Homo-oligomer: A and B are copies of this chain.
Amino acid sequence: MDKELVMGIDVGGQSTKLGVVNAEGEIIAQTVISSLQEELIDYINELTKAIKGLIAETVREGKVKGIGIGAPNGNYYKGTVEYAPNLKWSYDAEGKPTVVDLAALVKSFTSLPVTVTNDANAAAMGEMAYGVARGMKNFIMITLGTGVGSGIVVNGEVVYGHDGFAGELGHTIAIRNGRQCNCGLKGCLETYCSAMGVRRTAQEQLAKHPDVKSPLRSIDPEKISSKDVFDAAETGDKIALEIFKTTGEILGRSLADFVKFSAPEAIVLFGGLAKAKKYFHDDLVAAMEENQLQIWKGRIKVLYSSLKDSDAAILGASALAW
């Protein structure tokens, strides 16, 4: 008899990662496509081909019986991606973000059952099953990627809320009337503590200190990445260190407020920016403690995903398909 396999798909703002997972929780094959297509039909075309390619690649290992997808603004109840500002193919002809029936589309072209959730919820499920949150019943996953996502686990279960959209902590207001966010609001946490946010902080810091030399000045300001800032920090660059310090402080203040909601055992940070933890962790924890109620001072762990790159999200999404 064929072994049972499932597929996990992690839709990010830049790229979409696909993996086939066996019953032991091992990713036995994976691939990646771009998420930057402007037209929905182009994205679905590439996605469908990648899915079929992976299924063909693993046919001797077993039978893929279902697909789980983690996507920004993914809705667990409806299988949709709704109003996702960082995905161009989710905009309608008039340029407005709209509702994409992702589960129905992928199911139509693959004939497999498809379940969708928020990408950060998927990462939380992966972290709970295979990562640093193993055995935890209450934690908050914060994904620091192109944007800032979140997955909230209460009593061992992901919180979906009334409508399936729970966990949009990246769009809680970090600074009232602050930076304009793609979502339409101002001052969202995402505008400070994502890859986009770090770039804007870099632009601001470079402009604010015109006399301070920095390797970041040799990079197109519109293309500064978290990796660039990390590399500059590694050389001792003051601007880069200041960028991470600010980022850590703003994130820490917001995390203090998130704790007041669900009293988690830990907050788990994940995503590209988390790789620079040595440059922001202390400032993050200091800001979090400074803004914390007495009952939680010194008691909430701040952890970093130990899973390789996108593995948590692929594994978590795949868990939906079992």
Residues of A near any B CB (own CB < 8 A): 73, 82-83, 97, 137-138, 152, 154-155, 157, 159-169, 171-173, 175-176, 183-185, 253, 256-258, 260-265, 291, 293-296, 299
Residues A166 and B291 in contact in the complex (CB < 8 Å), given A161-B154, A176-B175, A253-B173: no
Contact present for B260 and A169 (CB under 8 Å): yes
Least CB distance from A119 to B in Å reads 15
Cβ A263 vs Cβ B176 within 8 A: no
**In the docked arrangement, what's the CA distance between A283 and B152, Å?**
30
Q: Which residue of B lies closest to A75 (CB)?
A: B295
Q: Is the CB of A162 within 8 A of B138?
A: yes
- The 7 A-B pairs of least Cβ separation, nearest first, read A161-B263, A166-B263, A162-B265, A138-B162, A168-B260, A83-B294, A172-B257
CB distance from A43 to the nearest CB of B (A): 20
User: What is the CB-to-nearest-CB distance from A71 to chain B, in angstroms, rounded to a whole number?
Assistant: 13
> Across the two chains, which residue of chain B brings its CB closest to A96?
B294
A185–chain B nearest beta-carbon distance, Å? 6
Residue in chain B with minimal CB distance to A290? B185
- A262 B294 Cβ-Cβ under 8 A: no
Check A260–B183 contact: CB distance below 8 A: no
B161 touching A138, Cβ below 8 Å: yes
- Cα–Cα, bound, A263→B151 (Å): 12
